[in-house]
Structure 1
């Protein structure tokens, strides 16, 4: 069996960087014109290499978002936090070409401003984008519950991403904005502090209707900001998973508002989803892969008594599997056992899983990463990395 050993993950790269040679001379320096007008002009470094053709280069030093931290306070499922950011950036590549655009976290919607947008509309604040409710602390509980059910807080978060381009005079300027509109699929609420929680499901149709109204108002506010009147804006609506979901939600629609325009003309439906393996959904969506993973689990269980199961996450676009991630938790007694197990799993992968989708297998022990096996879509061979203890 031919085994390739490489360390291509970011976590591995971090370890290597400390002892890497200085390539700073091959990097380029530009002037960042995206800073506020009253701020001193700052220079930025363009890294000399890209991770892949599909990924944006990021200017250094890295600029944190003006609303950093709001996401974790507003979105309940951490898997949604990751997917919202990554999937918004992925869909942005269809509008802002990574070949000539640089990525920057959002710089135009601040934290306090964003928090006010995420509130309910009320007499105290007309900035809230969630619907108002008509009850107070003296209202009967049944009346309060009905008001909450009829007027959920649909909007959880608005994620801003900026896309910059370089000019001939070695400056970079804002050329595009992407906005991720995170909407709830299920609303959890209380009618009094310390009281019980209630839940209300939100249909996708109802969610999209509310998102359309929210986006109209958001675009009006974006266009009123200094320097943003003539910047193209890509907007994607993200439907969150359940609070306790084991896979993220998904993007459901997107649109692009051209420079100088404020109105949304048409939405493009997005057909993609994350699927948990094993699950009834997986058996309906992809029965063949479900059977393959079940056979894989049984083969591993026959060979290693400490094996407890495999959890998988498949990502589908238009019903076609694009990537599959498997996590194998197992108790190891020593490094030799890790090596032997990894070799065995590698063989099963080569024999069992097709090559038209990307595959990643994480082997863990007590939440510690022990080994990684990965293969890009279309590759015949997988790559192995075994982590030193």
Structure 2
């Protein structure tokens, strides 16, 4: 394998050392931080604490994998507004187990009074049935050191709401869908947030800690990008406080016909980058990018390049050329990741630049 860095400013290697605390329930350690904007994690008795309920969904028909990635990452970004990585340590959700989350995601019924999704009204028509509104629920815990102990100091709950509810009238039958408007999605999410907060406050460990509840709009199965968060509330008491609206938009470049980007300069920059790269290296299957905007301002860009290269010398040359062209054409002042993959051999190289760097760090994956 070969590694490179167009400039040392493009990488972060200031990992903080681990620290250890002990309590009656065992020994805790804190992982290092790759950079100051990321959370350190909790290790208990030498093992990382995994989530007790990660990945549980209400329906298996919703299969856009990009939703999960943007849901978890975006939820942590919201948490940073209240629980700074410099003061808090991240812990995977430990207070809602898989059975609890599954019951909450299921429909309400006589056998499952805890269901947050509405009871079935027996209708199977797209507009007549009661859809599944809540597709998944994520818990994230935030810890602070208190003396020689680790103390829970905040919790964030994400409610992933369906914009499209996919369903089948019979097992293994054809797939149908119920479209859910933005207004209905947010209304249902806010109503569920009240119930979720009330249930969490009944748990002794969660009685007094700040609890953030955020509403996420899932993207449809045919979307090339994940969904987005639409609002969140920071709650210190027993009732849901004021909601804060979020202006987030996810965009795929190149744009489709009649589509517009929040900033045409970004679209033009990507088009110029794509043209230059494709003119220089003809053996490409495609170049696309996913960009996210907050309040109309570009936050970052993930570029995917699919190649038909086979030799490592080609990949090395191409990766360095990409770094040069990306620095020349792509927007500055935002984080940009570029993944180069083969149609047959998987990821071949990776390029990354932080929002404060000028040049890209590069890594080429070799055959050994």
Asked whether the two chains share a fold, i.e. TM above 0.5, the reply is: yes
1:341 corresponds in structure 2 to 318
Tell me, in whole angstroms, the C-alpha distance in 2 between the residues paired with 1:164 and 1:199: 41
1:45 equivalent in alignment to 2:22: no
CA displacement at 1:43 relative to structure 2: 0.4
1:188 equivalent in alignment to 2:166: yes
Alignment check: 8 A CA contact 1:275 1:282 kept: no
The structure with more radius of gyration: 1
Give deviations 1:259-305, integer Å, cap 9, x for gaps.
Answer: xx221131100111221111238634332222222222222222222
Tell me, in whole angstroms, the C-alpha distance in 2 between the residues paired with 1:214 and 1:275: 29
Alignment check: 8 A CA contact 2:216 2:227 kept: yes
Tell me, in whole angstroms, the C-alpha distance in 1 between the residues paired with 2:181 and 2:207: 34
- Unpaired segments ≥5 residues, structure 1: 11-16, 18-22, 33-39, 136-142
1:37 corresponds in structure 2 to none
Alignment check: 8 A CA contact 2:58 2:135 kept: no
Tell me, in whole angstroms, the C-alpha distance in 2 between the residues paired with 1:122 and 1:250: 30
Q: How is 1:191-202 mapped onto 2 (pairs within 5 angstroms)?
A: 191-202=169-180
- Unpaired segments ≥5 residues, structure 2: none
CA displacement at 1:9 relative to structure 2: 9.1
Secondary structure in 2 matching 1:325: strand
Q: Relative contact order: is structure 1 or structure 2 higher (C-alpha 8 Å, sep ≥ 6)?
A: 2
Tell me, in whole angstroms, the C-alpha distance in 2 between the residues paired with 1:224 and 1:119: 21
Match of 1:250 among 228, 236, 239: 228
Alignment check: 8 A CA contact 2:90 2:141 kept: yes
Alignment check: 8 A CA contact 2:132 2:165 kept: yes
CA displacement at 1:187 relative to structure 2: 1.1
Tell me, in whole angstroms, the C-alpha distance in 1 between the residues paired with 2:183 and 2:277: 43
Match of 1:102 among 89, 95, 102: 89
1:378 equivalent in alignment to 2:356: yes
2:124 corresponds in structure 1 to 144
CA displacement at 1:92 relative to structure 2: 0.4
2:239 corresponds in structure 1 to 263
Runs of 4+ aligned structure 1 residues displaced above 6 Å come to none
1:157 equivalent in alignment to 2:136: yes
1:179 corresponds in structure 2 to 157
2:346 corresponds in structure 1 to 368
Secondary structure in 2 matching 1:151: coil
TM-score by length of 2: 0.90
Alignment check: 8 A CA contact 1:67 1:111 kept: yes
2:64 corresponds in structure 1 to 77
More strand per residue = 2
Tell me, in whole angstroms, the C-alpha distance in 1 between the residues paired with 2:259 and 2:362: 27
